[in-house]
Amino acid sequence: MTGNVVAVSRNEEYSFTKPNRDGIRLVAGLGVEGDVHAGTTVKHRSRVAQDPSQPNLRQVHLMHVELFEELAEAGFTVAPGQLGENVTTRGVDLLGLPVGALLHLGAEAVVEVTGLRNPCAQIDDFQHGLLKRVVHRDENGELVRRAGVMGVARTGGAIRPGDGITVTLPDGPHRPLERV
């Protein structure tokens, strides 16, 4: 599976959106250099309130631009970085990846996928009704999360729009993604 990087974003401050950048740098074991969510332990406020010593499985947030295109058909306008993601992708079925899949971004950077993003109500503050489009129940009553995947930086390196993405799947039986 291959694709490309559409946009990269980071923010030094807590904010729902993240400004687009010409490039970002991953730091192994920490995440996106200069991003408020970088670190070895949890940085998301709700997670810190529960237990600040938890490992940070949400160092890097990736979303697929194809979701934005689907949302546009439903009347929503969403651009890269506006939902808080660090890397906006095209051509990779992020939601179909198993736990432990490795995303090779550009020449050096590698992100290990840890799970699904669990979006919060702030999405409806951004655009009313958007939360129901990215989290809903399927015909079997199962919760479906579509707001991207989270991962940890395994190998550092620069990532820029236009960089290629290749996927390496883990050995053995694959575990489906769950909320992290």
- Residue 179 domain-assigned? no
10-15 mean pLDDT: 94
pTM above 0.85, yes or no: yes
pLDDT digits (tens, 9 = 90+) for 161-179: 999 999 999 998 999 999 9
- Stated length of the chain: 180
Query: Who wins on pLDDT, 50 or 18?
Result: 18
Residues 6+ apart with CB under 8 A from 37: 31, 43, 44, 56, 58, 59, 61
Q: How far apart are CA 37 and CA 66, in angstroms?
A: 24
Residue 63 belongs to domain spanning: 2-160
- Within-domain flag for 118: yes
Spatial CA neighbour of 102 closest among 115, 112, 116, 92? 112
The per-residue pLDDT for range 80-133, each reduced to its tens digit, is 999 999 999 999 999 999 999 999 999 999 999 999 998 888 899 999 999 999
Could you give the CA distance from residue 46 to residue 63 in angstroms, rounded to a whole number? 21
Q: Is 95 within a domain?
A: yes
Proportion of the chain above pLDDT 90, given as a percent: 90
Q: What is the pLDDT of residue 119?
A: 85
Residue type, 104: H
Mean pLDDT, residues 148-167: 98
Is 167 a member of any domain? no
User: What CATH number is attached to the domain comprising 48?
Assistant: 2.40.33.20
Contact status, residue 88 vs residue 163, Cβ threshold 8 Å? no
Pairing of strands 60-64, 87-90: parallel
User: What's the pLDDT at 41?
Assistant: 95
CB 135 within 8 A of CB 66: no
Which pLDDT value is given to residue 62? 98
The answer to whether position 175 is within a domain reads no
For residue 7, report the phi and psi dihedrals to the nearest 5 degrees. Answer: -155, 155
pLDDT value for 40: 96
**Does residue 171 belong to any structural domain of this protein?**
no
SS3 of 11, please? coil
110, part of any domain: yes
The total domain count for the chain is: 1
Mean pLDDT of the chain: 95
CB of 17 closer than 8 Å to CB of 82: yes
| Continuous segment of H or E residues that includes residue 111 | strand 109-116
In a domain, 96, yes or no: yes
Q: Which pLDDT belongs to residue 86?
A: 98
